[in-house]
Amino acid sequence: MAAVIPIDLKGRRAFVAGVADDVGFGFAIAKALAEAGASVCIGCWPPALGIFETLLRRGKIDESLKLSSGQAFAFEKIYAIDAAYDTLEQVPASVKDSKRYANRGDFTIDGVGKQLVADFGEKPLDIVVHSLANGPEVKLPLVETSREGYLAALGISAYSLVSMVQRWSPLMREGGNFLSLTYIASERVIPGYGGGMSSAKAALESDTRMLAYEAGRRFGVRINTISAGPFASRAASVTGIIDDVIDYYQKNSPIPEKLTTLEVANTAAFLASPLASGITGSTVYVDKGFHAMGRAIPERER
């Protein structure tokens, strides 16, 4: 009988940035980390946080919060975070004064780091998951994307990881690691995935390698990214092409099945664990093998 090697994250604290419902990769990863024994804090975009809090309060996602043991897990703490801003001084008054941001404290990357220290002590973190992406012009072809839209996509979807590593690495305990989510549009043309998002994902993967070297030497942390196949999350549905992309993947992947969030989440739990202590600077594909294919499978062979 083969030995069972458990993923054990007991005594570790994870922060998952980019959870706003119980559908996407962020929530699934948070749950997988909890299954492995980690305490989990999440970060939610302020305009979406009120809705998420209402779902929790009314028990709308109670079923999703059930662990395999039958017990429910609770987030250790929920923070408002807007990864478009590094410090509160950068936030325009129009944003600070808006109702959606009112009474949310310092929701910047630096501010959330300081809140974590205040709540849990000098070294509060073991795992950070960057499940953040936004391109305000994602429906526009790159050739029609404005400078503002392009830079917004890169700032929120890629630079935010740089900012987190820069500001939160000193908050990591020994063995700490960062993990982000990317997409194959970084290296292949995905028509309809525009607005600079393909560029942002390419930057995210390049930054993963560079940060793994720099922050690994300076802070001793590991940094990886998962290139996940398509999934019909609310964020992905904004593109208007997600159903077609999922169908194409399923028909042309070595394993002709739809990807599940659990498959991505389980990989994330492994990469966050001591079992992956030798893995850093890597892009790990979780896409049923689609990335390995060089052409579409002829209809007769499907």
pLDDT tens by residue, 137-158:
999 999 999 999 999 999 999 9
Q: Does any domain span residue 51?
A: yes
Domain that holds residue 217: 13-287
Q: Does any domain span residue 168?
A: yes
> What is the average pLDDT value for the chain, to the nearest integer?
94
Model confidence at 2: pLDDT above 70: no
**Which run of H or E residues covers position 234?**
helix 234-237
Look at 237 and 226; give whichever has higher pLDDT. 226
Model confidence at 78: pLDDT above 60: yes
Q: What is the DSSP letter of 127?
A: E
Distance, CA of 12 to CA of 128 (rounded, Å): 11
Burial class (CB in 10 A: 0-12, 13-18, 19+), 73: middle
pLDDT at 236: 60
Distance, CA of 287 to CA of 226 (rounded, Å): 10
pLDDT at 237: 67
Model confidence at 259: pLDDT above 90: yes
pLDDT at 299: 79
Q: Does any domain span residue 302?
A: no
The total number of residues written for the chain in this structure: 302
pLDDT at 231: 86
Mean pLDDT of 111-120: 98
Q: Does any domain span residue 301?
A: no
Q: Does any domain span residue 300?
A: no
Percent of the chain surpassing pLDDT 70: 96
Mean pLDDT of 178-203: 96
Residue whose token pair is 């942390």: 221
Q: 3-class SS at 209?
A: helix
Confidence of residue 282 (pLDDT cuts 50, 70, 90): very high
Q: Does any domain span residue 4?
A: no
Query: Per the structure, how many domains does the chain have?
Result: 1
Percent of the chain surpassing pLDDT 90: 89
Q: Does any domain span residue 292?
A: no
Write down the pTM of the prediction: 0.95
Model confidence at 281: pLDDT above 80: yes
In this structure, what CATH number is given to the domain that contains residue 48? 3.40.50.720
Confidence of residue 298 (pLDDT cuts 50, 70, 90): confident
Confidence of residue 234 (pLDDT cuts 50, 70, 90): low
Residues marked active site are found at: 183, 193
Residue type, 104: R
* Residue 175 exposure: Cα atoms within 13 Å on the Cβ side: 13
Q: Does any domain span residue 143?
A: yes
Model confidence at 1: pLDDT above 60: no
Distance, CA of 65 to CA of 73 (rounded, Å): 6
Nearest to 41 by CA among 123, 104, 125: 125
Do residues 239 and 139 lie in contact, with contact meaning Cβ atoms separated by under 8 Å?
yes
